[in-house]
Structure 1
Amino acid sequence: MDKDLIFEIIEKIKGTKIEEVEFETEEGKIKIKQYVGPKEVVSHTPSPVIEVKEEIKGVQPQVEIEAKTEAQKYHVIKSPLVGTFYRAPSPGAPPFVEEGDMVSKGQVLCIIEALKVMNEIESDINGRVVKILVENGQPVEYGQELFYIEPA
């Protein structure tokens, strides 16, 4: 792999807000990361994600714009762990919340079962449940969006 190209890419991203560059050729795969400072945590107004993919062989750039309009309008409750999502405390019981319900800070929204332990997930704001993003009994990943809540 041409190390001059690698050093040129490193020089190009220095001083920018680009955190990571990854590309692959027939000779191998390269990932370059740079530290751009502490990240600002914004849970209710994330900016749209713009991803640029470039083919090395044919140099055919593709731009994908993923506008997360739902997440921009609402507060997002994310899964704090990997497990199984349950909307109710037990089979046959009514769900903790439905779409359209008003919730208060500390109110249980769902349960995530991990390693046979039932973990209650609570609302961290007062507001109205706009959308429930996961079906009952479905597996969830760490950081996966579970609920959109419109702040009160």
Structure 2
Amino acid sequence: MKIDVKTVKELADNLEKYKLNEVAVESGGVKLVIKKEKPEKNVEYIQPQQIIPQVFIDGEVQEAQLEEEVEAINCEYITAPMVGTFYISSAPGNPAFVREGTEVTPGETLCIIEAMKLMNEVKAHKACKIKKILVEDGKVVKKGDKLFAIE
């Protein structure tokens, strides 16, 4: 086979025509491979903006609710140590380990995360007050998801 510009052009045209990623031809000990380059994906990272919800009733902002939301944004959090299902009590119908406003001691169980049929207790790492429970019972959480707002 004679490799000339015309042959290379025809093979390149076949890439587009037949939507191929690669064409290879071998003849007389000569091998020609034409590959289509994959375009690099441009990844753009966007910094999330902090959103402060406002509630309007009869045209007035409810200041108490707005202040509570701002306070929640500026507090500490207890996060999920793993992926799994969040449970606030040891079994359905049992009382919750903690409620909003509960003061806990270090090592006290706050919730359970079920992962691969194993029940993993999430414990308080320090003495604190549970300001807000941020996950609904029975919902799936990812590692690092905020479970509790604490103060």
1:65 counterpart letter in structure 2: Q
- In the TM superposition, what is the alpha-carbon distance from 1:137 to its structure 2 partner? 0.5
Q: Percent identity?
A: 42
Q: 2:49 aligns with which of 59, 65, 78?
A: 65
Which structure has the bigger radius of gyration?
Answer: 2
Partner of 1:60: none
Number of residue pairs the alignment of both structures matches: 95
Report the structure, 1 or 2, having the larger strand content: 1
Output the aligned Cα RMSD: 2.3
Structure 1 distance, partners of 2:40, 2:134, is 38
CA distance in 2, matches of 1:128, 1:135: 19
CA distance in 2 between counterparts of 1:130 and 1:80 reads 19
User: What is the TM-score of this pair, normalised by structure 1?
Assistant: 0.56
Q: Which has the higher helix share?
A: 2
2:121 corresponds to which letter in structure 1? E
Shift of 1:29: 2.2
Displaced runs of 4+ in structure 1, greater than 2 A? 27-33, 67-72
Residue in 1 aligned with 2:41? Answer: 29
What's the counterpart of residue 142 of structure 1? Answer: 143
Give the C-alpha shift of residue 130 in structure 1.
Answer: 0.3
TM-score by length of 2: 0.57
Matches within 5 A, 1:101-112: 101-112=102-113
